Amino acid sequence: MIDVVIGYDKEDQVYKVYEPSTDTLLVTTSLGESFIKLSEFLKSRGMIVGDLLGDDNVRYHIDSATLLAMVESNANLLKRLNQAPSGFMISGQRFGQSTTSPTQSSSKNGKKQKFGGSGGTFSKSKFNESYKKFGDRKR
């Protein structure tokens, strides 16, 4: 059994990963980087065959600061993902379509224009016309 001891140093904001049987200490700012480097090191020594995280013969010991840093990092990532524009919004922006909802209105050349039924939305008739371009004329 390989033991891996992980500690987070709040003051220096680094992860310290220690493997006692080889007396190896890795210090990095990224826990992911620590796992990659430790995995490569243990493979080169023949102590593991595959990936470190996939090896059942490895036991992890983490301190509470590491656990809290991991949870905080994941929570921040989820917040960023929730605030990021969706793939549909990004695609629409690339093709010049409005990202407003179909029921919102906009002013264009002094005239009020209602979104929906035309423009960036799909109607049955537009879909049928577009579908014909793919060779199926039965629709």
121 in the same domain as 60: no
Q: How confident is the model at residue 124 (pLDDT cuts 50, 70, 90)?
A: low
Q: How confident is the model at residue 105 (pLDDT cuts 50, 70, 90)?
A: very low
Judge whether 74 and 67 are in contact, CB under 8 Å. no
Q: What is the residue range of 58's domain?
A: 2-83
Instruction: State the burial class of residue 16 (Cβ atoms within 10 Å of its Cβ: 0-12, 13-18, 19+).
Output: middle
91 in the same domain as 75: no
Q: Is residue 43 part of a domain?
A: yes
Judge whether 4 and 58 are in contact, CB under 8 Å. yes
- CA pair distance 11, 131, nearest whole angstrom: 61
How many domains is the chain partitioned into structurally?
2
Query: Checking DSSP bridges between strand 24-28 and strand 14-19, what pairing results, if any?
Result: antiparallel
Comparison of pLDDT for 90 and 13, the residue scoring more: 13
93 in the same domain as 71: no
43 in the same domain as 6: yes
48 in the same domain as 20: yes
